[in-house]
Amino acid sequence: MNTTNPILFVADTMLGKLAKYLRVMGYDTFYQTSYPNQRLSELVKEGRILLTRNHTAATQYSNSIFIDHDLVKDQLKTVDNSIKLTLDRKEWFSRCIVCNSPLSKTELEVARQNVPEFVFFTYHERIVFCSTCKRFYWPGTHRERMLERLKDWGY
């Protein structure tokens, strides 16, 4: 991903799964299940591209992409066709899929105390941590399924 001028997104309340997959791909994607009045406007003014299923919002903001699909794979293609996503796999799985914060390496002892024993001994060098929501991540079967799904979608 272009770190000098990263692409930032904000997804409306109807695009939670799309937000999750953009985060998996390393994109800073703000998402909430509801937004207080004017919050979307503030986020767009900060330079985020609005991803929306709402016709009115899409026409209200010039920095928006209207998503007219139900399936995540088609939603992702719409975004990709609009702005040409940078598919830098080094950035994949670098953000928390729940809260969007960047992930970081964790100390071995902290990981040992917070993940199942099998996970620690299998993935100890690859366990990462979200300092915001306190979740631990490792390259297990859930990640493999997500990678396979992205591959099937052409990414």
Question: Could you tell me the pTM of the whole model?
Answer: 0.91
Tens digits of residue pLDDT in 70-98:
999 999 999 999 999 988 899 999 999 99
Token match 């800073």: residue? Answer: 28
- Confidence check: pLDDT of 35 > 80: yes
Q: Are 28 and 51 a contacting pair, CB within 8 Å?
A: no
